[in-house]
Amino acid sequence: MTKDEFTTWALANGWQMIDGMPSLTKPAAPHPAIVRLVLKVTVASLEIKKPAGKWEKVASQSYAKIEPSPETGIPDGLGLATIAGLTLLMQDNKDRQVFARMTGNKG
């Protein structure tokens, strides 16, 4: 995957741009971000915000080693499908965005 392909996938799957990075938020509090993708020129990193407010890098991989899963479409290589609760958080964020479009509310 390229940086642009990864960004397009993320935005289509519940991630939203916050501070220039694809990010996920808590369902009950849609700001600030609690998970983000840091997409640099050659590498993508997954970071999760700790309760103290610091970002912790939990995975990093070059784009050449990130490929969409044939079964789920979720990119393999950063642990997106294996980190506990992350798939549910992505789905919650995606559902909130779809509902907001249906009702005309931003959320």
What's the domain range around 78? 3-103
- Residue 45 pLDDT > 90: yes
Pairing mode, if any, of strands 75-76 and 55-62? unpaired
The predicted model scores a pTM of 0.80
> How many domains, in total, are found in the chain?
1
- Residue 106 pLDDT > 70: no
Identify whether the C-beta of residue 30 lies closer than 8 Å to the C-beta of residue 16: no
pLDDT tens per residue, range 49-58: 998 889 999 9
* The pLDDT of residue 24: 94
* The pLDDT of residue 99: 78
